[in-house]
Amino acid sequence: MTVTELVPYEEALATYDPVMGLEVHVELGTATKMFCGCSTTLGADANSQTCPTCLGLPGALPVVNATGVESAVRIGLALHCEIAEWCRFARKNYFYPDMPKNFQTSQYDEPIAFDGYLDVQLEDGEIFRVEIERAHMEEDTGKSTHIGGATGRIHGASHSLLDYNRAGIPLIEIVTKPIEGAGERAPEVAKAYVAELRELIKALGVSEARMEMGQMRCDVNLSLRPKGERSFGTRSETKNVNSLRSVERAARFEVQRHAAVLDAGGKIVQETRHFHEDDGSTTPGRVKEEAEDYRYFPEPDLVPVAPSREWVEELRAGLPELPRVRRNRLREEWGISQHEMQSVLNAGAVGLIVATTDAGAPADQARKWWMGELARRANESGTDLADLPIGPEDVARVCALVAEGSLNDKLARQVIEGVLDGEGAPDEVVEKRGLKVVSDEGALGAAVDEAIAGNAAVAEKIRGGKVQAAGALVGAVMKATRGQADAARVRELILEKLGVEG
């Protein structure tokens, strides 16, 4: 097939209305796999974390991980879902070497959680409600390495190698209902939904949800229908879109591609598609198998899960504050605008600022450092704020030193720099670099006298009432003290000595 000429996005939206369905897989952060006691530690030696159960050897019996079930219920509750009173696992049968059992243990028509929603906030503050169809429990597959083809691709490979360490790691699959009515903002809604879901998963502490590590992956289902039409068009399913930015790009690309096919009078093929990070395009994968071809049936080796209502309520009571609620509370406490909060969020600074205020710093100071100097440094070195070699306690200590008058802003900047350069904690940097505000009034007084004497003309102007000229003398004193004086106090002293009211 030739590459379809894409329709410009705005043009596509003028004719069509997109409908999306998002499927997100979250790898739980449990210590062991979903149905056996093998470790889930990343980066282990190939096939060193397998056992008869996850290898599907004859006679092995799976037993579900209690923490896995609890995490699933908590995710369901946080998504305002109903929790099943009774549900079973099912076998999803397929032949592919990523599962040594030739089936994946999943849930079919009895998901543990269903009928919920997640409110997501778009960049301009608008709230969009995404309805949740279901969240169910299943297991991850093994990792394939394809040998002999170009750049490790499955096409043209002579054979493949399988590492089953990942096979059996608990997954929760969260499926939205068809997302309608987002219109031109569909790609933005998709991105905001995945971002919000990731925050939620992290707040629950059930997974680190690091997309770049594959701990959270998104499949984007998208179809177009002519504006005003109610029934859905044929959808494509773009698999494994693994960053927030990619989710938005994939949705946007598919809108443009579908529009091109439909405009040309063509039909959308229901198929899976692969997303390409480099240019944001998608290419066809396999034609989607019919659900019945998986021959789902209830898993006979696992007994049903029946979460008692008491337990569910106990878990509900223990849920943390939801991320969006928390963000709005913090935004109000910090007294900043929606837009400013969005920047803090985008910079990944919310947790750091909270930790800094918890360590005693005023919120505005904490925010000033993380969003100013430190954001700049992180940007320069291309790292995340959280990965800078400075922590919230360090920043809080610097704020405290400024508050008690031992440091002025300029010196504080140097202390931060010292900490970032690995010179130690703030107090050590102060000590080593000799950074202290000169608070010795005698020494300061002498420096002021000297400045007045050396700038007689300026001093005369100030005496004459031209108070704003004091800046030049303050500058001279700051220079003489190598910036280690409290500029406000210097100004006071100058005016005092010249007998002028500030």
Q: Using the rule CB under 8 A, is 159 a contact of another protein?
A: yes
Amino acid at 27: E
Enter the tokens of residue 74.
């908590």
State how far Cα 356 lies from the chain centre: 19
Q: How far is Cα 71 from Cα 65, in angstroms, rounded to an integer? A: 10
Q: Using the rule CB under 8 A, is 150 a contact of another protein?
A: no
Q: Which stretch binds another protein (CB under 8 A): 175-183, 304-312, 395-403, 405-413?
A: 304-312
Q: Which stretch binds another protein (CB under 8 A): 123-131, 143-151, 323-331, 348-356?
A: 143-151
Nearer CB in complex with another protein: 152/454: 152
Show contacts with another protein in window 229-288 (CB under 8 A): none
Element (H, E) at 287: strand 282-287
Shortest Å distance, C-beta 168 to another protein: 11
Enter the tokens of residue 463.
């005496």
Element (H, E) at 274: strand 271-275
From residue 186 to residue 225, the character string flagging contacts with another protein as x (rule: CB under 8 A) and all else as - is ----------------------------------------
Q: Using the rule CB under 8 A, is 310 a contact of another protein?
A: no
Among 60, 162, 330, 495, binds another protein (CB under 8 A): 162
Enter the tokens of residue 209.
């949800």
> Which residues 6+ apart lie within 8 Å of 278 measured at CB?
none
Under a CB-based contact definition with an 8 Å cutoff, are residues 467 and 435 in contact? Answer: no
DSSP letters of 431-449? HHHT---B--HHHHHHHHH
Shortest Å distance, C-beta 133 to another protein: 23
Q: How far is Cα 500 from Cα 480, in angstroms, rounded to an integer? A: 23
Nearer CB in complex with another protein: 153/230: 153
Nearer CB in complex with another protein: 157/400: 157
Shortest Å distance, C-beta 65 to another protein: 5
Q: How far is Cα 369 from Cα 414, in angstroms, rounded to an integer? A: 12
Nearer CB in complex with another protein: 171/347: 171
From residue 372 to residue 411, the character string flagging contacts with another protein as x (rule: CB under 8 A) and all else as - is ----------------------------------------
Enter the tokens of residue 165.
């360490």
Q: Which stretch binds another protein (CB under 8 A): 229-237, 294-302, 382-390, 444-452?
A: 294-302
Nearer CB in complex with another protein: 14/42: 42
Q: How far is Cα 436 from Cα 405, in angstroms, rounded to an integer? A: 9
List phi, psi (to 5°) of 133: -80, -50
From residue 24 to residue 63, the character string flagging contacts with another protein as x (rule: CB under 8 A) and all else as - is ------xxx---xxxx-----xxxxxxxx--x-x-----x
Shortest Å distance, C-beta 104 to another protein: 15
Shortest Å distance, C-beta 240 to another protein: 17
Show contacts with another protein in window 418-477 (CB under 8 A): none
Q: How far is Cα 217 from Cα 171, in angstroms, rounded to an integer? A: 10
Under a CB-based contact definition with an 8 Å cutoff, are residues 211 and 217 in contact? Answer: yes
Show contacts with another protein in window 52-111 (CB under 8 A): 52, 55, 57, 63-69, 86, 88, 93, 95-97, 100
Nearer CB in complex with another protein: 93/481: 93
Element (H, E) at 161: strand 159-163
Nearer CB in complex with another protein: 1/66: 66
Q: What is the size of the binding site for another protein (CB under 8 A)?
A: 56
Closest CA to 338 of 189, 121, 188: 121
Enter the tokens of residue 486.
């409290």
Closest CA to 203 of 384, 74, 387, 343: 74
Which stretches of the chain bind another protein, using CB under 8 A? 30-32, 36-39, 45-52, 55, 57, 63-69, 86, 88, 93, 95-97, 100, 144-147, 154-164, 293, 295, 298, 300, 302-307
